[in-house]
Each structure stands twice: as C-alpha cells, then as structure tokens.
Amino acid sequence: MSQKSLLSASLLAAARDRLDISIPVLLVLAVLFVLLPLIPGEFILVVGTEILILGLFALSFNLIHGFMGQISFGHAAFFGLGAYTTALILQPLTAAGGLGTITFLLAILAAVPVSALGALVVGYFCVRLTGIYFAMLSMAFGELIFYVVFSWYSFTKGDDGIQGLMPPPLLKSPVVYYYFTFVVVALAAALLWRITRSPFGYTLRLLRDNPARTAFLGIDVRRVMLVNFVLAGSFAGLAGALWGPFARSVSPTLLGWAQSGVPVFMSLIGGAGYFAGPLVGSIVYTGLNSYVTRFTIYWPLTIGLVILAMVLFLPGGLLSVVDGWLKAKRRGEP
Amino acid sequence: MSDHVKSMLAGIDRRQFVVATLASGAVAVRPRLGFAQGAEPYRIGVLLPSTGTGANYSERPIKGLPLVAAEINQRGGFLGKHPIELIFRDDQTKPDVGAREARSMILNDKVKTIIGSWSSAVAMAVQEIVHEYKVLLLAATSNSSKIVNENYTPYAFLLGPNSQMQSSATVVAVARMIKEKGWKNYVTIGLDYEWGRDAQKVFVSELGQVSPETRLMREFWAKLGETDFTSYITAIMAMKPDFVFGAIAGKDNETFLQQAKPAGFFQRVAYPGVFLPVTELMQQRKTLPRGIIGLGRAPFFALMEYPLTRKYIALYQAKFGKDDWPDDFACMYFDSLYALEQIVTRTGSIETEAVRKAMTGATIETCRGNLAFRDCNNQLDCPSYLGAVVDTPDYPFPIFDPKSLIVVQGRDCWTPKTCDEVRKIQKPRA
Amino acid sequence: MSMDFGSFLIQLLSGLSRGMMLFLLSAGLSLIFGVMNILNFAHATLWLLGGYITFSLYTALATQFEPSLLLLVPAVLGSTAILFVVGWLLERFLIRRMYGRELPEQLLLTFALILIIGDLIKMIWGVQNRRIVLPIEAWPVFDSFINPYLFVIIGSGAVVATFLWWFLARTRIGKIVRAAVYSRDMVSALGIRIPTIYAMVFALGVAIAGFSAGVFLPIIPIGLGLDMDLIIQCFAVVVIGGFGSIAGTLVASLLVGIVYSFSVLIWPDGALAVIFVILVAVLIWRPYGLFGTEMRS
C-alpha cells in the first residue's frame, strides 16, 4: 500500500508538467463556453451543444487511450447504448405530453448504468488483450452491438431510429439546453479530472508506460483496466444520453464504427497526451463539420486534407504545439 | 447504337453534376441583384446525399432542380416577385447529419421549405426539425409510410407512393399473374433494414388476403450493402419456388440483378415487382432481364400525355442533351417545386402557415396528372406503375411494356383506408 | 432443411467464391500489416479506385474490340499496374512518415485518405454506379444452374494466394521481406535498402486490391460508399486469420464464406452476424488469430 502511494507521489511530480497546461486551457474554454451564447444566432448554440456532447464522448475515450494506452475502436457502442436508453424512456413520455424536468434528469442518468453494464461485458474480454488485439476486439463487439440495435426492430425501431424526443418545457429553449449540457459536461469533466489525478489515475499511467512493472508491484492489471473501461463507457453513455433530446432523434449510426472514429480523431487532433486535448479536438472537428458543408460540396476532400496536415505536421495534437511554445518561452526567460 | 450509348454515358457527365451543384449558388445569387427592394427571395433547402450510395439516385434531382428554379425565376419567381434560391446540402445518408444540416439551413439560410431526402431514416430525423421550426418538408425519394402515418406532422408532404402503397400495388399485379400462370409457392428476399422489412411484410400480408392459397416457403434477408448475393441466389433456386418477391432497392438491387442473371435465376423463377426507377433502366439497359415485372414511381415514358412531363423532359434535355432523361426522382422533385409554386399562387402569399394550410388536401398539377394530397396525412394520391421490361425503338434503354402497363391508383392501395383510422395511428405531437 | 447432394455442392461452391472474394479483398491488407505493421483503413477505398480504373480501361478497349472476358485481362492488368504506382507514391510521400507512429495516428492518416480518394473518385467518375457487362451464360448443373464466373473468382483467388506464397517463400526479395519482419536492423546492416523493400511491399498490397476490384467488376457494380461497406469485413478476416499470416487470411476468408453460405440456408436471420460472431469467438479463444503468433504489441 505504501509502495503504491510512494509510486503515486513520484509519478505525480513527473506528470504535473504535462498536465498543467490543461488547467489554463480548461479555464479559458469554460469562459468561452459560458460566453458563447453572446454570439448572435441560434445555430451557434446548436454547434456549441454538439461540441460539448461529443467533447465529453472524446474525453471518456481518452481515459482508455491517453491514460491507459489502449485504443477502443468500438467506443460508440457505449455512446449509443446511452443514447438509446434515454430515448426509449423519453419517447413515450414526450408523446404523452407529461415530461417533467425531474423525470428527464432521471432518464439521462439511467443511461449511465446501462452503458456501464455494456462496458463491463465488453471490457471483461477486451482487457485480456492489448494493442491491436484490444482495438480489434472492441471493434468487433461494437459492430455486434450495432447489429443488435439495427435489427431488433420491435424494441429499438431498427434503422428507422427513434424520433419525437424533446427536452422538458423548462429546458426546451436552445440556450437553456446549451447551458444545461454545459453544466452536465463540466461536472462530468471535473469528475474525470479528479479520476485522472487520483492514485487510480496514476496507476493507469504506470500501466500505460510499463505494464510489467505494474504487475510486479502486485497491482491486478486486468482489474484496473476493467474498472477504467467501465468508467469510460459510463461517461460515453452520459454523453450519448444528452444527444437524443438535442438532435430530437437517435439512429443506429450513433453506434457504428464511423462514429467510433470520432473520439479517436478528436483526441489526436487536440492532443491525446493532455486531459483537455479531446475537448479542443471536438471544437476543431465539430466546427469543421458544421461549417465546411455550407461552402463546398467537396467537404470530404477539405476535411481530409485538414486531417492529413494535422497528422503530418502536428503529431502530438494542437495542445502539444501550445505546450511546446509555452515551454520554449519559459526557457527563453532568465 | 454503340455511339448512342457512348454519348449517353458522356451526357451524364460528372462535371455537369458538379457544375449544377455549384451553379445552384449562382441561381441563388443572380436574381437577388436584379429585383427591387422588398422582394424577399424564397429560399429552399435541397437535402440529398452527394456522397455514398445514395448519390447515384440523387444526381438527376440535384442537376435538374436549378433548371426548374431558373424557369420559375424567369417569370419573376413565386408570385412574380419572390425569386427562388436553392441551397444544396449533403446529408451523407446519416440521420444525425441530416438533422444538423436541416437546422443549419433553417437557422443560417432561413429556408422556408426543405426538399428531400433519399433515406427514410434521414427524412424522419428531419421531420422532427421541420415540425419544430414550422418549415415545410417535401419528400419524394424517402418513402416510409411512417412519414405520413405514425410520425405525421402537418408540415411534411409525401409526393411519391409510400412503401406500403408500393407493396400493395405489387400485390395487385402479382395476384393477376398468379391467376394467369397458376403459381403456388414463393419466397421473399429482402434487405434487412426498415424499408425492406416493411415492404416484405405488407406484400406477404396483403397477398395472403387476396390469394390465401399461395404459400410463402421462406424469407431470406441480406444485409444492406451486400456485395455477394450468390449464396442467396443458389439457395433460392434450390427451393424451386414459382416466383420470388424482392424487397431490394438502390445499388444492392443492381448487384442482385447483375449476379442473378448469369446464375440462371430468371430461367428458373419469376421475379415480379422489383423497383426499377428510370435511373436503373438506363444504367442497367444492357443486363436487365427482359420480361421481368418492374415498378416505377414516375416513369416519364408512361406519362407523355401530361404537359408537365413533356416540360420536364424539354427543360432537362435542353441542358443535358437528348441522351439523358429525368428519372423518377427528378420528376417527383420537380413536381414538388411546381406544387409549391401552384399553392403559393393560389394563396397569394409565401407565408409558410398559409401555404401549408392551402396545400393540405389540395389538388395539384403534376407530371403524373392532377393529383390530390390526402387530407389526413399529406400523402399525395399518386399511382404506382408496373410493367414488363421490354426493349423499344423509342429509347436506347428498355421501358415498361405500354401494352401491359398496370397503373394502381394511390387511393386504391393505401392503408389505412379511412382517415379516421389514419388519425388513430398518428402519434400526437406537442 | 433437407437438401440433395447437388444443391449442397452448389451452395458449397457459392460459399467458396464468397470466401475467395473476401481473400482477394483483404490479402493486400494482410500483407501490408504483416510486413510493415501499418493498418491501412483506406485499403477498400484503393480497391474501389482500382475498380473505377478497370472500368475506364475496359470501356476504352471495348470501343475498339468486341467485349469479352479476354478483353478484361488487359484492363485488370492495367489497373494492377496503376495501383502499384499509386501505392508506391503513397508510401513514398505519406505512409513512410507513419512508421513507428502509433496505431490511432495511422488510422487518422488513412481515414483522411478515404475522404480524399473518395472525393477524387467523385470528381473523375461522378456519382453513378459503374459496371462491366460480360456476356455470361448460366451453366446447367445438377438440375439447376450456376454462374460460371464463380470459377474465375475462385481461380483468381488461387492465383493471388499462390503468387504471394511463391513471392514470400521462393524469391530473394520475399526472403528479405520475411527477414525484415523479424529484424529490421539486421537486414539493414546487411546493406539492403529497407525503405525500398517497404515501398515495394506497400505498392504490392495496393496492387492486389487493384487486381481484385477488376476481377469483381463483371458481377459487382461499383459505386461511392462501397468501400465503407467492405473495409470492416476485410479487417475481420485478417484478424480471424491472424495478423501477418497470408495463409491465415486465406483460411479465415474461406471459413467465413462457407459458414455464411450455409447459414443463409439454415438460419437466414443470423447469417448477417456470422462474421462478427466468428471474430469475437476467435479473439476470445485465440487472440492472435487462427494462424497468428504474438509478434509485436
């Protein structure tokens, strides 16, 4: 036990340097998100809400990637499970016209245990593997869950999806739903931040950097990985829960492998090595998707070239550039 | 003939698709400069996929709609003073993207009407958005019956036969053939998604009522985007049914037909009721098995008696040459634009509420004759067209045999039969 | 369901051809991953590009000569050659920068390629589905019919499998390639230019995609978005067979194809999930695939 805390202390010092940039970035982002509705027009709220929801999705993914060193190619399954749980509860209530705020909040929260359970089953098998095998097994499970949702018409309405979702009257206005999303995502992010800086979080990093040494220390590697996988799945489920009432409908594409790619892009674009990286990535990726399509029918080419440039020239993501610049500046001063 | 075909291929050139899509911007901009102050433009969003599988079937509507808009704008636009501006967006055949693009067009571009989409799932996601922002949705390619029944909103109008009507129309034709040919057993093969499941279910249940002695031997389901139907084809042939009902659409339909023919499928079993829009008749002109019974939603060659059909062809061919024709989808989307013009003219206003109210239950002139919207669900009372695929000297591709053409009117095949029953299945909306 | 011997054989044959299609699609992917440790998400997109190129070459030839199966041969070989060059250039300018980078970065780069190549296809060939029409007549067998083109597919798969075996086991370059898998530095120390070897392997993998697309064209119309439908299946058979093992990919493809073909008959509703059920089962039972060994992690 004391060994563990010793270990944590030493890692804390090592990790602080890398993590510190996330604090100012998160603060700046928080201010920007609070002020965002000052920009005129309703569409900015649509984009802002999407950035926040997908940002939380990407943050949850980075728990597995950035902190545990594995890649899940099936993370959308948990986002989708959450989205469908909330949608299936809300749809009949909304249609009946009696959706109260408390019921709505409960429906959002109900997504968490369902996604957690899904992640527990998938994770149980995945954590036995690492690297490409971990990635491929998570993808295979993701596709299986996608297939179940796609085919189980009597329960999920198949590929038609579920329509007629709506926030309760109190949260219905776009600006209110935006701030509601902001609060939920901010709380979730704070919780994630706390997790990554707990002894558990440092154990994860040790696991990422040196799995063999972690095992020698008497840590049950699989157990730690499984707990983390379930945590990541739960937060993805929370993000998914927010999606249906925002988009007014859910469909199986939310669980497909292309959707699983979204948090991967966001983490890498923003910087998977930084806690705030995925959020920054969500701003870039969602922003591009929301605005590029207005100006060119060659949006895939445009977005493809942007991604290509980022992979080639910003290997550590946007935040690593900021970080490097700040460090250079600091060194430059006497 | 070979030159003909070559120039036809060239006629549907990629550049024109691109140019048409980009030119839509020009269509949008030019009138704005020329008109007096206070002449508010009428903005229409066109939401169709220009990437992925659906792009093949959205090409002609995307290319053709600017021509129709320009023709109306020559007369000054709606009411002679509101020029049309078309805004094109790619929904990527993803419901969440469709919903986002619909919001973007409504909030950023202030569109009053959205035309589209290809996929029913996308249309239903967009339906939620148009209902909320009180914008009109004119749908034609996407045709799930849920759009007008379960998910009904007074803001959405369906200008083509829906999935249920299409299957019922096929039953009418098949029942006739069962009598003529003494068929006893059949199997179905459907694509495993909502449209395929729905079309198969309606067909089986309605055929069961009309011809209860005909036996369904087995149901086969293939996945969306299947590239190899061989195992299905050999399995079906081993069962030796008299006929096969296929609920396969789009590119998968093309794949199925291309693989079924050299496998001897059509030598062994009949295959009535396959959805063959003009797009497919042109693209598969060489390989389509002649004699199979196809179904169309607005096949221009069967509609030459109607002035609007002739007008659409003239407009389209003036731009894209004599070797290309507007397909079912183009014709139906052209209809939606002209329907809007007719209603606006009748109402004397471009205000959405007034237009919506006037359009409900209205009779409009279309390329398929004068047709009325059903009061209770905004489904256009439009026919389905079935006929045997035959060659003709008139076109460089096969058409439905005019001698055996079966036209099934909308009101003769839609269910529920009465508006009271329709209202019962429509979910209440806030 | 009871079935006679003839129907059984026909069903087996259609499963075999389905399996060979899967193998032709994924052999290049398997080769590239096995040798270079690069997971190319754009493999099916390059395959699609090969299909369009074959279409154009064949269409050009068909204006001069009578359309026939024989005429397809130069078109397919042309597409194979062009895709070899495309693969070489991609390796030289993009993929080379990804060696040693992590898996998600490879994913991101090759996903960008999917978007870019997809749009280039749209610019060059438009949005229409494309196909090659060959005068194929059904063969009567066992009181039924069969598509004789299935034998072309099965034959092509066998040719590619044999070629890859010969290349890797019998040629000098193949031996270098195999040695490089185990010890890059040692091979390099022997004065062999590893970058050239890698460029060649990548180009070869892409060329196989170009070849198979051309072979499929007479029975599979191609269109935008087809690549997205296929890439996950490619990954699945490569994983089932075991990363880095071409033989494994072949066995896995045939296994999936044949199981699929019979499940269409026995349990049609479940046929669609077959590939992923097999994938999950194999990964749980033998994470390194049927033929794979744990080489790198």
In a domain, C296, yes or no: no
- Comparison of pLDDT for B81 and A1, the residue scoring more: B81
| DSSP result, B284-322 | TTTTSPTTPEEEESS-GGG-TTSHHHHHHHHHHHHHH-T
Contacts of C109 in chain A (CB under 8 A): 307-308, 311-312
Contacts of C111 in chain A (CB under 8 A): 261, 265, 307
**% helix, strand, coil for chain B, step of 5:** 50, 20, 35
| DSSP result, B3-18 | HHHHHHHHHT-HHHHH
- Comparison of pLDDT for C67 and B104, the residue scoring more: B104
Average model confidence (pLDDT) across chain C: 87
Indicate if the pLDDT at residue B325 is higher than 90. yes
In a domain, C34, yes or no: yes
Show the CA angle centred on residue B25, arms to residues B23 and B26, nearest 5°.
65
CB B166 within 8 A of CB B143: yes
Residue C44's CATH number = 1.10.3470
Q: How many percent of chain B have pLDDT more than 90?
A: 63
Please report where in the chains the tokens 């397909």 appear, as a residue: B327
Neighbours of chain A (3+ CB pairs under 8 A): B, C
| Number of independent structural domains in chain C | 1
Cβ of residue B132 closer than 8 Å to a chain A Cβ: yes
State whether B220 and C268 contact (CB < 8 Å): yes
Number of H helices, E strands in chain C: 12, 2
Predicted local distance difference test score (pLDDT) of residue B221 = 87
CA distance A193 to chain B (A): 29
Best mutation site among A125, A127, A129, A133 for testing chain C: the one with the most C CBs within 10 Å?
Answer: A133
CB A250 within 8 A of CB A87: yes
Predicted local distance difference test score (pLDDT) of residue C11 = 87
Q: How many percent of chain B have pLDDT more than 70?
A: 91
- CA B16, CA B14: separation in Å to the nearest integer? 5
Q: Name which of A304-313, B106-115, C1-10, C253-262 the model is least confident about.
A: C1-10
Predicted local distance difference test score (pLDDT) of residue C3 = 64
Q: What is the dihedral of CA A95, A97, A101, A103, to 10 degrees?
A: -60
In a domain, C291, yes or no: no
- The 10s digit of each residue's pLDDT in B378-409 is 999 999 999 999 999 999 999 999 998 999 99
State the average pLDDT over residues C29-55.
92
Give the single-character DSSP code of B164: H
CB-nearest to C10 from B59, B238, B268 is: B238
Predicted local distance difference test score (pLDDT) of residue B279 = 93
| DSSP result, A84-132 | HHHHHHHHHHHHHT---HHHHHHHHHHHHHHHHHHHHHHHHHHTT--HH
Cβ of residue B18 closer than 8 Å to a chain C Cβ: yes
State whether C147 and B262 contact (CB < 8 Å): yes
Show the CA angle centred on residue B303, arms to residues B84 and B367, nearest 5°.
20
CB C241 within 8 A of CB C4: no
CB-nearest to C283 from A137, A261, A300 is: A137
Contacts of C253 in chain B (CB under 8 A): none
Indicate if the pLDDT at residue A18 is higher than 60. no
Indicate if the pLDDT at residue C107 is higher than 60. yes
CB-nearest to C221 from B225, B232, B254 is: B254
pLDDT band of residue C4 (cuts 50, 70, 90) is confident
Q: Name which of A272-281, B140-149, B237-246, C176-185 the model is least confident about.
A: C176-185
Contacts of A94 in chain B (CB under 8 A): 430
| Residue B292, token pair as written in the block | 């199979």
Contacts of B132 in chain A (CB under 8 A): 248
State the average pLDDT over residues A247-267.
92
- CA A325, CA B193: separation in Å to the nearest integer? 52
- The 10s digit of each residue's pLDDT in A47-69 is 999 999 999 999 999 999 999 99
CB B285 within 8 A of CB B266: no
In a domain, C292, yes or no: no
Indicate if the pLDDT at residue A192 is higher than 90. yes
Indicate if the pLDDT at residue C293 is higher than 80. no
Instruction: Give the 3-state DSSP-derived string for C173-202, with helices as H, strands as E and coil as C.
Output: HHHHHHHHHHCHHHHHHCCCCHHHHHHHHH
CB-nearest to C144 from B237, B286, B287 is: B237
B414-425 in b/e burial notation, b at 16+ Cβ within 10 A?
beeeeeeebeee
In a domain, C295, yes or no: no
Average model confidence (pLDDT) across chain B: 88
State the average pLDDT over residues A140-155.
87
State the average pLDDT over residues A99-105.
90
CB-nearest to B104 from A43, A243, A254 is: A43
pLDDT band of residue B140 (cuts 50, 70, 90) is confident
In a domain, C83, yes or no: yes
Cβ of residue C286 closer than 8 Å to a chain A Cβ: no
Q: By residue range, what is the domain housing residue C147? A: 5-285
Best mutation site among C4, C14, C154 for testing chain B: the one with the most B CBs within 10 Å?
Answer: C14
Predicted local distance difference test score (pLDDT) of residue B203 = 93
- CA A10, CA A20: separation in Å to the nearest integer? 16
- CA B413, CA B386: separation in Å to the nearest integer? 14
B-C CB pairs within 8 A amount to 152
Residue B13, Cβ density class (10 Å: 0-12 exposed, 13-18 middle, ≥19 buried): middle
Domains in chain B (CATH in brackets) are 2-162+302-372 (3.40.50.2300), 164-297+384-415 (3.40.50.2300)
CB B386 within 8 A of CB B170: yes
State the average pLDDT over residues B225-235.
88
Predicted local distance difference test score (pLDDT) of residue B18 = 47
Contacts of B90 in chain A (CB under 8 A): 293, 297, 299
State the average pLDDT over residues B61-68.
94
pLDDT band of residue A11 (cuts 50, 70, 90) is low
Cβ of residue C107 closer than 8 Å to a chain A Cβ: yes
| Residue A227, token pair as written in the block | 């707990």
CB-nearest to A161 from B95, B132, B224 is: B95
Indicate if the pLDDT at residue B15 is higher than 60. no
- CA B188, CA B248: separation in Å to the nearest integer? 10
Indicate if the pLDDT at residue B25 is higher than 80. no
Q: What is the CB neighbour count within 10 angstroms for residue A27?
A: 11
Show the CA angle centred on residue A94, arms to residues A91 and A97, nearest 5°.
150
CA A300 to chain centroid, in Å, comes to: 23
- CA B340, CA B351: separation in Å to the nearest integer? 12
Q: What is the CB neighbour count within 10 angstroms for residue A289?
A: 19
State the average pLDDT over residues C205-209.
96
Q: Which residue of A has its CA nearest to C110?
A: A308
Contacts of B234 in chain C (CB under 8 A): 7, 10-11, 13-14, 144, 146
A-B CB pairs within 8 A amount to 93
Predicted local distance difference test score (pLDDT) of residue C136 = 81
Indicate if the pLDDT at residue B430 is higher than 80. no
Predicted local distance difference test score (pLDDT) of residue B26 = 37
Q: Name which of A61-70, A240-249, C265-274 the model is least confident about.
A: C265-274
CB A229 within 8 A of CB A115: no
Highest mean pLDDT: which range of A20-29, A125-134, B316-325, C190-199: B316-325
- CA B311, CA B334: separation in Å to the nearest integer? 10
Contacts of A300 in chain C (CB under 8 A): 115-116, 118-119
Predicted local distance difference test score (pLDDT) of residue B14 = 42
CB C275 within 8 A of CB C231: no
In a domain, C128, yes or no: yes
- Bridge partners of B222, per DSSP, are B191
- CA B400, CA B407: separation in Å to the nearest integer? 11
Cβ of residue C297 closer than 8 Å to a chain A Cβ: yes
Q: What is the ipTM of this complex?
A: 0.87
Please report where in the chains the tokens 């929301």 appear, as a residue: A290
CA distance C128 to chain B (A): 5
State the average pLDDT over residues A167-194.
95
Q: Name which of A70-84, B343-357, C228-242 the model is least confident about.
A: C228-242
In a domain, C294, yes or no: no
Q: Name which of A84-88, B32-36, C291-295 the model is least confident about.
A: B32-36
Q: How many percent of chain A have pLDDT more than 90?
A: 60
Region for residue B79 given its phi and psi (left: phi exceeds 0; alpha: psi -120 to 50; beta: otherwise): left
Cα–Cα distances (Å) from C96 to A195, A264, C88, C101, in that order, read: 38, 21, 10, 10
Predicted local distance difference test score (pLDDT) of residue B75 = 92
State the average pLDDT over residues B134-152.
92
